[in-house]
Structure 1
Amino acid sequence: MSTDETPRSGGLQRRSLLIGAVAGAGATGIGAASAAGFSGVLGSSDRPTSDHGDAARHGLQTEPFYGARQAGVATLPQAFSAFIALDLNKGASKDSLRRMLRVLSDDAAALTQGRAPLWDQEPWLAENPSRLTVTFGFGPKVMSLIAAARSPGWLKPLPAFTIDRLQDRWNQGDVLVQLCCDDKLTLAHAQRVLLKDSRSFAAVRWIQDGFRNTVGATVSGQSLRNLFGQVDGTVNPYPGETDHEKVVYGRDGFDPWIENGTSLVLRRIHMNVDTWDEADTPAREDAVGRKLADGAPLTGSQEHDEPDFEAKGPLGFPVIASYSHIRRSRTDNPDEKIFRSVYNYDLPVADASGMSRSGEISGGVSNTGLIFASYQADPVKQFVPIQKRLDEMDMLNTWTVPIGSAVFAIPPGCEEGGFVGDQLF
């Protein structure tokens, strides 16, 4: 699910800089949808570089692991992601959770800085951190074991939506491990190290891999595109803008569940590209409310132009239809905002010769969709109202089907010597 809120006028220059650095951040596309800590633009520190040019320097860039807030939430989005849900073993206890989180935190801290953890059997694969971030989240079972009284009321499944066709294999989980990185090899190595750490404590429930444009693949300032060809990053409360702190970490009416903590709603959204192929460009743009070529609203000429929902066409009908995605995702309530980050997925299929019809989630020549990550202080107050409007009447629902849904509490960061979640023990 995505939203299409009105941007703060003073934030466009900063937004363009942030988007351009890695070809887009956030999402104004399908679905509902680092603060202080940016060093320069990327918020990363440069290690000594070789003579191999920009690619080598970028591969050695790091994002901090230790700090009041976890990296990977407000960090400038990387090219690749892996969202991993773990289910705790039977008999898990507060003490076993503490031990698992300490091991995971120690090894994540090393990997994000380009250092091989103890007992890493391929230490050379950790040498190019490429802005790797590791973010941990807790599901209801974890909170009930370690701090039931502090578990937020919103930490539960989202309400049922009519468009959902959720598959249990993509739902919930006890522990979230979110990996984001600009190099796929580095990410894969980090994933294996951390899963080896956790296998005495938990089993993998699901892994959702995603991708964006790689560094340097698009011109500076161009937003991410999804696999429908849509510009997918128009409006978002970016770090440094007025709304970001309130939206993500809570203030001015939102009480954070814990200081420097937030929440993650993760939605897996199947995109039916076969039936999308049957729609011509005007029909697609009518459904979205934006021009596909550049993301400009149908009433504007540039991506960040403010849509004019009152404008009428030659026959007296609204230029931007009431059922269009950007119209349905709009709200007059300033509290209904989220900070979102979207990754594409495109999986191989066994039989690439068929067709997938409307509402179907299998068949066709591809298995394509979005991994939609939405961060906010309170999902019930911020995410759910937006999704309800999209559920009621969003033309894009013709081509999209949510097939997975999960909600996690994202705890604060930790200091060196501690571990993520230690404030709850």
Structure 2
Amino acid sequence: MPTDPASTDPAPPDPAPRGRAAAETDLSGPAPSDAAPTDRPAWNRRSLLTGAVAGAGVTGLGAVSAAALGGQAPWSGAATDETRPGQRTEPFHGARQAGVATLPQAFCAFVGLKLDAAATRDSLRRLLRVLTDDAAALTSGQAPVNDQEPWLAENPSRLTVTVGFGPRTVKLIAPSRVPQWLRPLPAFGVDRLQEAWGQADLLLQLCCDDKLTLAHAQRVLLKDVRSFASVQWVQDGFRNTVGATPDGQTMRNLFGQVDGTSNPYPGEADHEKVVYGQSGFTPWVQDGTSLVLRRIHMNLDTWDEADTPAREDAVGRRLSDGAPLTGQQEHDEPDLDAVGPLGFPVISSYSHVRRSRSPNPDEKIFRRVYNYDLAVHDASGRSRSGDVSGGVSTTGLIFASYQADPVKQFVPIQRRLDELDMLNTWTVPIGSAVFAIPPGCREGGFVGDVLFT
């Protein structure tokens, strides 16, 4: 995958702002094509089995003009304007929203919004129309009508915008269609939840391979909502950038741990069941799903006190390559019955691998996680087990879990982890929210329009 810009600086295209839909459209027409562009990265099971799944993204080299260098740019000839990563797009319109089965981008911003007290069904309709129109423009590399820096929209970099509904939003739109699982998760003993990261009324999930593009899109969309809602929280995260690791390699979290090996990958039948409820669950709405968003603080100070064997015993996998302690490759199936020379299980009863697994095939989730690492304000001394501040880092995981029914799929897994997971020694959930993810929309429609019919 090329990472270098084009050999010359192309003339900026004339901005082509997209106007907002002025009236309701007939939703009974033909659905748009779901065909994806040929330069769009895709999940690939074959590559997953040889090296695993992707946490890839893009950041560009610092831009220096050829004129400033007195000649041609040093990266000349590496890629054309059409093939450089910044020009890659993910389709916005379709039966399902992008940003779930999409190959994870390098950066994310989960934005939780609180609707104004005076919010109504009609004001939500107007808001969703505006957001949909501007998100569709931004993800295709076009500047929306209210964009005061349109040139910052010219590199979409696989930007996706995914909209989620909290309980209040669904109640305002369609009270009879609120899914029974759209409520706070039950209390878990490991939780030390902070109100600052709690339930929001509306979610904007922005993911992108370029941080500048993401920041610009976030500002444009938040200008759309300020007459309807206020920002409750923003959770920024990151994964590896394109070129930093081989394509198809599973991401690592800041414990150095391979994170996400046992995912049901898009394109597999199990993914359809787990995420969209096909042949196993009853979706709350066709092509809709749910998102459980957990903010998990990771105490690196106390993690530093554990040696590699202790860490691997807690995880149940080798940290170097993610292989189970009973296997040779990352995607080898763990042998939970294997015992060592002294008769003890090779994979301990309290290991994360064992506690996260269930014989019930319904208890599966699809995880699409990001790291966070914030500026340190109190770097003196060491943080202790259970602390969520202090030490030399404020680090953790934005754990995004998608499933058809959180109560039947996510909660049983979390209960087992809550009861006996050695990783709880170093991790503390500090934020939790549940969102209903509505289907996508066709051109001329808007996200969530099926709930208004």
State the TM-score, normalized to the length of structure 2.
0.84
The separation in 2 between residues aligned to 1:150 and 1:292, in whole angstroms, is 44
Which residue in 1 is equivalent to 2:303?
A: 276
Q: Which of the residues 198, 221, 240 maps onto 1:213?
A: 240
The separation in 1 between residues aligned to 2:193 and 2:107, in whole angstroms, is 24
Q: Say which SS state the counterpart of residue 243 (structure 1) adopts.
A: helix
How far residue 252 of structure 1 moved from its aligned partner, in angstroms, is 2.2
Contact 1:18–1:76 (8 Å) recurs in 2: no
What per-residue deviation string (whole Å, max 9, x for no partner) do you get for residues 89-137 of structure 1?
Answer: 1111011101111000000000000000002000000000000000000
Which residue in 2 is equivalent to 1:363?
A: 390
CA distance 1:323–1:18, shift in 2 (3 Å): closer
- Bigger Cα Rg: 2
Which residue in 2 is equivalent to 1:328?
A: 355
Which residue in 1 is equivalent to 2:444?
A: 417
What per-residue deviation string (whole Å, max 9, x for no partner) do you get for residues 233-254 of structure 1?
Answer: 2111111112011111112230
The separation in 2 between residues aligned to 1:15 and 1:282, in whole angstroms, is 26
The separation in 2 between residues aligned to 1:85 and 1:91, in whole angstroms, is 18
Which residue in 2 is equivalent to 1:184?
A: 211
Letter in 1 for 2:200: G
The separation in 2 between residues aligned to 1:377 and 1:309, in whole angstroms, is 28
The separation in 2 between residues aligned to 1:22 and 1:365, in whole angstroms, is 26
1:58-207 to 2 correspondences below 5 Å? 58-207=85-234
Gaps of 5+ in 2: 1-43, 58-75
1:279-298 to 2 correspondences below 5 Å? 279-298=306-325
CA distance 1:58–1:16, shift in 2 (3 Å): farther
How far residue 219 of structure 1 moved from its aligned partner, in angstroms, is 2.2
Letter in 1 for 2:306: A
- Share of identical aligned residues, percent? 76
How far residue 22 of structure 1 moved from its aligned partner, in angstroms, is 4.6
CA distance 1:64–1:254, shift in 2 (3 Å): same
Q: Which of the residues 404, 428, 434 maps onto 1:407?
A: 434
* Residues 136-145 or 211-220, more deviating: 211-220
State the TM-score, normalized to the length of structure 1.
0.89
CA distance 1:372–1:21, shift in 2 (3 Å): closer
The separation in 2 between residues aligned to 1:374 and 1:403, in whole angstroms, is 16
The separation in 1 between residues aligned to 2:267 and 2:313, in whole angstroms, is 33
Q: In the comparison of the two structures, how many residue pairs are matched?
A: 390
Which residue in 1 is equivalent to 2:337?
A: 310
Letter in 2 for 1:71: A
CA distance 1:219–1:253, shift in 2 (3 Å): closer
Which residue in 2 is equivalent to 1:15?
A: 48
CA distance 1:51–1:168, shift in 2 (3 Å): same
Which residue in 2 is equivalent to 1:47?
A: none
Q: Say which SS state the counterpart of residue 111 (structure 2) adopts.
A: strand
Which residue in 1 is equivalent to 2:249?
A: 222
* Residues 107-116 or 309-318, more deviating: 309-318
CA distance 1:111–1:16, shift in 2 (3 Å): farther
Letter in 2 for 1:53: A
Which residue in 2 is equivalent to 1:353?
A: 380
How far residue 316 of structure 1 moved from its aligned partner, in angstroms, is 1.0
How far residue 13 of structure 1 moved from its aligned partner, in angstroms, is 1.4
The separation in 2 between residues aligned to 1:19 and 1:106, in whole angstroms, is 35
What per-residue deviation string (whole Å, max 9, x for no partner) do you get for residues 327-384 of structure 1?
Answer: 0001000000111111000001112222110000000000000000000000000000
The separation in 1 between residues aligned to 2:361 and 2:373, in whole angstroms, is 34
The separation in 1 between residues aligned to 2:53 and 2:451, in whole angstroms, is 38
CA distance 1:17–1:192, shift in 2 (3 Å): farther
The separation in 1 between residues aligned to 2:270 and 2:176, in whole angstroms, is 29
Q: Does 1:53 align with 2:85?
A: no
How far residue 222 of structure 1 moved from its aligned partner, in angstroms, is 2.3
Contact 1:81–1:343 (8 Å) recurs in 2: yes
CA distance 1:300–1:349, shift in 2 (3 Å): same
CA distance 1:189–1:303, shift in 2 (3 Å): same
The separation in 1 between residues aligned to 2:375 and 2:52, in whole angstroms, is 29
Contact 2:139–2:158 (8 Å) recurs in 1: yes
The separation in 2 between residues aligned to 1:18 and 1:240, in whole angstroms, is 17
How far residue 15 of structure 1 moved from its aligned partner, in angstroms, is 3.0
Contact 1:299–1:319 (8 Å) recurs in 2: yes
Which residue in 1 is equivalent to 2:29?
A: none
The separation in 2 between residues aligned to 1:391 and 1:22, in whole angstroms, is 27
- Structure 1 runs (4+) greater than 6 angstroms displaced: none
